[in-house]
Structure 1
Amino acid sequence: MTILEHIRGPRDLSALTRRELDQLATDIREFLIQAVARTGGHLGPNLGVVELTIALHRVFDSPRDRILWDTGHQSYVHKLLTGRQDFSKLRGKGGLSGYPSREESDHDVIENSHASTVLGWADGLAKANQVLKKDDHVVAVIGDGALTGGMAWEALNNIAAAKDRPLVIVVNDNERSYAPTIGGLANHLATLRTTDGYERFLARGKDILQSTPVIGRALYGSLHGAKKGFKDFVAPQGMFEDLGLKYVGPIDGHDSAAVESALARAKCFHGPVIVHCLTEKGRGYQPALDDEADRFHSVGTMDASTCTPLAAAPGPSWTSVFGEEIAAIGAERPDVVAVTAAMLHPVGLTAFAERFPDRVWDVGIAEQHAAVSAAGLATGGLHPVVAVYATFLNRAFDQVLMDVALHKCGVTFVLDRAGVTGTDGASHNGMWDMSVLQVVPGLRIAAPRDADRLREELREAVEVDDAPTVVRFPKESAGEAIEATGRIGGMDVLHRDEDADVLLVSVGALAGVCLGTAELLRDRGIRCTVVDPRWVKPVDAQLPPLAARHRLVAVVEDNSRSGGVGWAIGQALRDAGADVPLRTFGIPEQFLAHGKRGEVLADIGLTPVEIAGAISAAMAAEDRPAEDPGKEN
């Protein structure tokens, strides 16, 4: 039986010897490698925070002391130490979330796993403690690139304003986000990494001076007044101290005794403290260390020994199709450039970056800056393609609206992981983009149904130079091509029965679902027309007259029903005076539990059987004769 199996909660750690703690770290790494290989998940980040997490739970008393994780994908070790060791269904339906979850444990505080938010949370909790005169501690763990986000620095500015408000900030510095972290802050932290003997050097100097007879103490007092300049010479940590933050480090994040000592000192300080820990992403697993792209940031199911994927995709991924096509476009058009926010490889820009290194910029976890910078690139005569996950564009809405759209900038936003993503849970579903962006004047949205349409619509998007465009697609495989049988306006006709009763408007990758629905309805005597608008904003001018020739319109979208494509089509029908009933099938206005994409879609009724049943019921209700209000029962 391993030491890990004896751990039922953080307090079980206090009795362990140093040797047992080292063995526990080994047990945890072995457990994570085997467990995550079976389910998929964020392996590299968690292998890097094993000793740090153990130290946090030995020094602080969770859940009384609040330990906050930014980003939450580093919380697997935290889960193991707080009594959650059943990883058999990690990120699967009914299993553990891949992020902190309040439903799972009182030890979890923040479920939002959008990076760079933890310091704002910590600032608020520390203020609440001060107002309520509570003496428990707040510890914010930030890293994996999250300090490149502007929100983190807004929070630091406020945290530093209160010198007497206790708060411990642990910088988990692994030099990476998804890929190696870039930018001025990364360079500053790199400088700090080279000064591991700094604290010992200063302490030794202080001891020598204070023990020198007659002049020692006086000389030390004089030098102490000049320590700021001296410290910046030895280790340029002034960036933090200029903000008024006490700085401890850098500490070897895999030296458990050193980390505990640093955290214990920070815990006793009556103000904000930064503890700078150096960790190695993927530590203890050589295949992860050999992977320079992202150190096994996130892996699918695989053989733990060979790292061979166990579940082969049925076709090319949406991301890979985009990556190939944008590289081809880049070869044809030297004005096309690329921007991303700390996810060059995950969004498929690897090939583009290799071929055109001077035309791609990774701005770090700074989506707002990505959008504004793209506006500048467009104004300067280029056509920028900003590639991010759909859920992360929410953070840059104001910049899309006021900087890109208001100035009629030709910027193409490519939104990967749109719609239901599944296993990463509520914060990572890209289910709001087509609702949020509906209100942006002049912006156009393309939702390709397959790989061929992605290539076509991406090329159409980059041809627009006087307004922003969006191309959005889901996670996983792009599936087989679905060819059109005709065209009405700009819409592809995918299926058409004579004298059709129902117009099915298929949005993006749900075309297969809509065609399956049409088959089931035909078996029930209900005829359908199925169209793919291709560009869902603005609504095609030919859609209202087409809708008027049917008895019912149904819109099927992988987006929130609130304010989405169905809403926009409904408004277009009303504006055109097309008096036809409308049903919208999409994602309900709720945060979705994690599970496989297909499982989540089934849970919310986005399947052919569910949709066909609802349409059949609506048609039957329409055919039912109205009751005479004067008739007695």
Structure 2
Amino acid sequence: MSVLEKVNEPKNLKGLTKEELKALAKEINEAVLYKVSNVGGHVGPNLGVTEMTIALHKVFNSPVDKFIWDVSHQTYPHKILTGRKHGFTDGHFHDITPYTSQDESEHDFFTVGHTSTSVANALGYAKARDLTGDKGNVIAILGDGSLSGGLALEAINNAGDFDGNFILIFNDNEMSIAENHGGLYRELAKLRESNGQAEKNLFKAFGLDYKYLEEGNDIEKLTALFEEVKDIDHPIVLHIHTEKGHGYDIATNDKEHWHWRAAFDLETGELKNKPSGKSYSSILMDYMDQQMQAGQPILAINAAIPGAYDLKTFANKYPKNYWDAGIAEQFTITFGGAAALAGAKSFIFHNSTFVQRAFDQFVHDLAINKEPAVVFIKGDVISNSDKTHQGDFARGWISNIPNITYLAPTSEEELLAMLDWSMTYQDGPVVINIPEHGVESRPAHITSFNQAQYDMIKSGQDVALIGLGGLYSHAEKVAEELAKHDINASLINPLFISSLDKKMLDELSESHKVIVTLEDGVLDGGFGQKIASYLGSKDVKVLNYGADKEFNDIVPVAELYKRYRLAPELMTQDILEIL
């Protein structure tokens, strides 16, 4: 019997020998690799904390002692040790969530998928413990670049004023998603080099006790450290140096690309389904290169996600024109907007699920000051992602901020037209939603975006289909279905997400019985509702199609399309019933 077969809950660790614990670490890593090689997932972050997780569960008594994790991509070993190892076997990969979940296990306390939250969450738990007379250690586990996030630093500052048991583990694997950036991480490197003895110590500056462990993948030394601080009566930081991807050479040799990986071959590391063809990211990088060659002062900015846009292509060629802020979305918007106001051409790159952390900066800095930066957003679509990374909310909140020109191209040509226009536009910020349904080729009939102007692709009667961005091609499919019923629908490409072409909407309301909007985001507060509100006094029926306001958790897109009646045949049924 393997060691892992004997471990079904944390208490099973207590009597294991040193040799058995080492064997257990190897078996946990094999289980993690087996799962992620089959269905994809976070590789390096999980492999790097296996030994630390084993030591935590050996020394402390979960769930009385509370482990409060930061980004959940460090929690696969924790899940395996807390009764969820079945989720790493064939046929059960999706039986457990890819993040911590209090609904899934008594050993989890929050549903967490984003970064920099653990210290504030844990401090809240520790404060409540003391107020209610409860017992137990509270341990926050922070890592993978999360320290640069504003919330983490705010929480550490407040932890300096806390009077009671509080243990902060800083898992220092020298990496964020990609490499770390900023002066903070240079000083952390000096702490590592000096075995924690460097004069400048961020944690002590906040008033916290501090201990350093260099051998962060050594179970025996980790166990000794945790025994030393167990039941401590004041806040302390345990700065632990780990290796991202530990135990899997392919991952340790290329830490950035092995932070997260789609399904791959375990022996070679090669992806099982390699992407092919042109991408909107490559189009953007080629465009930026052309503008740099023409002498434009491009400044490419992102928050620790260069791989999402292949930004390293640009960074390697123009290092002075590239800025990776680390996990600091708020900073990128204020910094990039100010640079644009001062004469640079800021191109700011974000993922929808992460950029929501910068809502205030969009409002207070970018929009109020009319800063002419260009923000690109990917992932704002109805997808099969987990609820902690659901990206289809951005349209709703961005589209309700004044002074922002918010655009949705449907093709390569339209994206390039928007980029050309944005290079000379100085009256405010531009946000461009990057389509997620593959690169399409479609002529750009509109090349100026100073005011809303929808593109009438095909003029028909009775039914007008307005398909936004990536769902314009979906509207085309609905038109094909309606044609089978002898209905010649109008097709409109709106291009603008938040601004209305009132002239065209008035004309459509006079010549059509039904106006249908399609969008790839949440309906409440979104594109379609704005059109419905404007046409409320008109004698025309408006149907809005998009996502309900809800959290979805790894639901197949086809199932969501049926739920929201976004499938072309279902929309066609609805339209026919109204007609």
Give the TM-score normalised by the residue count of structure 2. 0.93
Question: Map of 1:311-322 to 2, 5 A cutoff?
Answer: 311-313=273-275, 315-322=277-284
Q: How has the CA–CA distance of structure 1 residues 185 and 600 changed in structure 2, closer, same or farther, with 3 Å as cutoff?
A: farther
The one-letter amino acid paired with 1:427 is: T
Q: Deviations over 1:509-567 (max 9, x none)?
A: 11222211222222234432121111222122433123212111111111111100012
Matched with 2:71 is: 71
Measured in 2, the distance between the counterparts of 1:399 and 1:90 equals 45
Write the mapping of 1:238-253 to structure 2, written as runs, cut at 5 A.
238-253=201-216
Return the alpha-carbon distance in structure 1 between the equivalents of residues 562 and 274 of structure 2: 22
- Cα offset, 1:38, TM superposition: 0.8
Q: 2-side partners of 1:64 and 1:487: how far apart?
A: 62
What letter is aligned with 2:376?
A: V
**1:172-194 CA distance string (max 9 Å, x none):** 10111111111121112111111
- 1:571 Cα shift? 3.3
For residues 125-162 of structure 1, the C-alpha deviation after alignment (integer angstroms, 9 at most, x for no partner) is 11110110111221111110000011111111111112
1:613 and 2:539 matched: no
CA deviation after TM superposition for structure 1 residue 80, in Å: 1.1
Partner of residue 86, structure 1: 86
How far is the alpha carbon of 1:63 from its aligned partner? 2.2
Q: Could you say what secondary structure the match of 2:551 adopts? A: coil
CA contact (8 A) 2:516 2:543 kept: yes
Give the 5 Å matches for 1:124-163.
Answer: 124-162=124-162
- How far has the Cα of 1:250 moved from its partner? 3.1
Correspondence 1:309 to 2:275: no
Residue matched to 2:395: 434
Structure 1 residues 319 and 521 mapped into 2: Cα distance closer, same or farther (>3 Å)?
same
CA contact (8 A) 2:399 2:497 kept: no
Partner of 1:207: none
Contact 2:414 2:442 in 1 (8 A): no
- Alignment partner, residue 592 of structure 1: 552
Aligned equivalents of 1:336 and 1:92: distance in 2?
47
Deviation string 1:42-61 (CA, Å, 9 cap, x unpaired) is 11111111101111211222
* SS of residue in 2 equivalent to 1:439: coil
Unaligned runs of 5+ in 1: 199-233, 620-633
Equivalent residue, structure 1, for 2:474 = 513
TM-fit CA distance, 1:13: 1.2
Distance 1:567 1:485 in 2: 26
The Cα of 1:474 is off from its aligned counterpart by 4.9
- Following the alignment from structure 1 to structure 2, what is the Cα–Cα distance between the partners of residues 613 and 75? 45
Corresponding position of 1:119 = 119
Match for residue 221 of structure 1?
none
Distance 2:447 2:154 in 1: 51
Matched residue, 2:177: 178
After superposition, the C-alpha distances for 1:406-455 in whole angstroms (9 at most, x for unaligned) are: 111101111121223423x1121221111111221110111122344333
1:44–1:295 CA contact under 8 A, matched in 2: no
Cross-structure match for 2:380: 418
SS in structure 1 at match of 2:261: coil
Q: Which residue of 2 aligns with 1:38?
A: 38
Aligned residues: 575
Distance between the aligned counterparts of 1:449 and 1:512, measured in 2? Answer: 8
CA deviation profile, 1:340-367 (whole Å, cap 9, x unmatched): 1111222331121122110111111111
Distance change >3 Å, CA 89–CA 98, structure 1 → 2 = farther
Closer/same/farther in 2, CA of residues 118 and 135 from structure 1, 3 Å limit: same
The answer for the alignment partner of 1:362 in structure 2 is 324
Question: Of the two, which has the highest radius of gyration?
Answer: 1
Name the CA distance, whole Å, in 2 between partners of 1:429 and 1:607: 20
- Cα distance change, pair 395–265 in 1 and its aligned pair in 2 (3 A): same
Give how far 1:323 is off.
3.2
The answer (yes or no) to whether the contact 1:495–1:530 under 8 Å persists in 2 is yes
Q: Which residue of 2 aligns with 1:97?
A: 97
The CA RMSD over aligned residues, in Å, is: 2.5
| 1:585 partner letter | Y
Q: How has the CA–CA distance of structure 1 residues 180 and 525 changed in structure 2, closer, same or farther, with 3 Å as cutoff?
A: same
**What TM-score does the superposition give when structure 1 sets the normalisation length?**
0.86
Q: Is the 8 A contact 1:139 1:169 kept in 2?
A: yes
> Matched residues in 1 for 2:278 and 2:9: separation?
43
2:243 paired residue number: 280
Distance of 1:90 and 1:111 partners within structure 2: 25
Any idea what SS the aligned residue of 1:339 has?
A: strand
Q: Note the alpha carbon deviations across 1:456-496, whole angstroms, 9 max, x for none.
A: 33333343222011111255x51443558999983334444
Partners of 2:554 and 2:291 in 1: CA distance: 36
**Secondary structure in 2 matching 1:586:** strand
Q: Identity across aligned pairs (percent)?
A: 31
Distance in 2 (alpha carbons) for counterparts of 1:241 and 1:88: 40
Any conservation in 1 of the 2:380–2:395 contact (CA below 8 Å)? no
Amino acid at match of 2:105: S
